[in-house]
Amino acid sequence: MHSLRNVLDQAQKNGVAVGHFNVADLVLLKAIFAAAQELKVPVIVGASEGERRFVGDRQIATLVRSLRDEFDFPIFLNADHTHSLAKAVEAAKAGFDSVVFDLSALPFEENVRQTKEAVQALKTINPAILVEGEIGDIGTGSEIHEAAPDLSKRLTNPAEAKRFVESTGIDILAPAVGNMHGMLESMVQGETKKHLDISRIAQIKSTVRLPLTLHGGSGTDDDDVRKAIAAGITIVHINTELRVAWRHALEEGLAKKANEVVPYKILPFAVESVKEVVLSRLRLFNGR
Ligand SMILES: [Zn+2]
């Protein structure tokens, strides 16, 4: 039996990180699974509230479970950025392995109170489910942004992180450490990179001693990612890079086969292109 908790424990011991990639269709799921299978490394598939609205909670849960069972492979499913208890409960009931319960936009005390309540409710449904909580501000939207938001004032403070973890009983913490959701056009072009506050990651890790998730990993400097993992990051989220590859390859596939209407003759272009991105990120996260 593959368990996400064991995979995270093992990753922490080995000083590597588990890649988390979002899905909104079968192209993305096929690409992510193919890359993880090729490298023989565990992987987490994520679906945000918007992505779940499109593919269906129970449908994506069934697909991911079918891959895990048929190939005896450590692939897991996370309910990414869930903003209400009702949506979190739906995901837990559908069979998700973990839930990111994200009330980071609320005042700290309210975030603590509601996250604690969610941890208890979700573990009643499935005692093995892992709950991730979030404090600080890492922006919203895994898309191309016109300008970088100023997130510097709401970086996660280690003492606050400790209090949040102790009062809520979460299994995983998502801190704000210079990361942000989405990418700027200059990052898509490879002209600029995101940079992380590595010493803050190390301080948070030494106070909370839980797996830490780096959200908004797309477009981050490779060397910063390596240092962040060494400092205590155990899960890295990549979404926008996959979306950019998906769109470009789809346009290319349609252009190359101008008269083609058979989806499975066009979509493999997108699968291959997204798979290349996932492969390069998984190699980085696993020190290969
Ligand atoms: Zn995120």
Instruction: Give the pLDDT confidence score for residue 154 in this predicted structure.
Output: 84
Nearest Cα to Cα of residue 286 among 13, 2, 45, 18: 18
Q: Which of 57, 80, 102, 171 is catalytic?
A: 80
Span 75-80, average pLDDT: 98
Report the b/e string of 135-173 with b at 16+ CB within 10 A: bbbbbbebeebeeeeebeeebbbbebbbbbbeebebbbb
CA of 174 to the centre of ligand 1 (A): 8
Tell me the CA distances in angstroms from 126 to 14, 86, 92, 134, one per residue in order.
28, 15, 7, 21
What confidence tier does 149 reach under pLDDT thresholds 50, 70, 90?
A: confident
Q: Give 174-205 pLDDT, tens digit per residue.
A: 999 989 899 899 999 989 999 999 999 999 99
Q: Are 141 and 182 in contact (CB under 8 A)?
A: yes
CA of 169 relative to ligand 1 center, distance in Å: 20
pLDDT digits (tens, 9 = 90+) for 60-73: 999 999 999 999 99
Give the relative orientation of helices 263-285 and 240-256 as an angle to the nearest 10 degrees. Answer: 150
Residue 121: alpha-carbon gap to chain centroid: 22
Lowest mean pLDDT segment, chosen from 40-54, 147-161, 207-221, 238-252: 147-161
Ion ligand 1, residues whose Cβ is below 5 A away: 215
Q: Are 79 and 88 in contact (CB under 8 A)?
A: yes
Confidence of residue 147 (pLDDT cuts 50, 70, 90): confident
Please give the distance, rounded to the nearest whole angstrom, from the Cα atom of residue 281 to the centre of ligand 1.
16
Query: The pTM is what?
Result: 0.96
Q: How far is the CA of 227 from the centre of ligand 1 (A)?
A: 20
pLDDT higher than threshold 80 for residue 24: yes
Contact 96, 64 (CB under 8 A): no
The rounded Å distance from CA 213 to ligand 1 centre is 9
* Pair type for strands 98-101 and 75-82: parallel
Residue 8's pLDDT band (cuts 50, 70, 90): very high
Alpha helices in the chain (DSSP H): 4-14, 26-39, 49-55, 57-70, 85-94, 108-125, 158-168, 185-188, 198-208, 222-231, 240-256, 263-285
**What's the 236 CA to ligand 1 centre distance in angstroms?**
9
Assign 81 a pLDDT band (cuts: 50, 70, 90): very high
Q: Tell me, yes or no, if 9 is annotated catalytic.
A: no
Phi, psi of 137 (to 5 degrees): -125, 120
pLDDT above 90 covers a percentage of the chain that reads 89
**Distance of alpha carbon 150 from alpha carbon 154, whole angstroms:** 9
**Dihedral (C-alpha) 221, 227, 229, 231: value to the nearest 10 degrees?**
-140
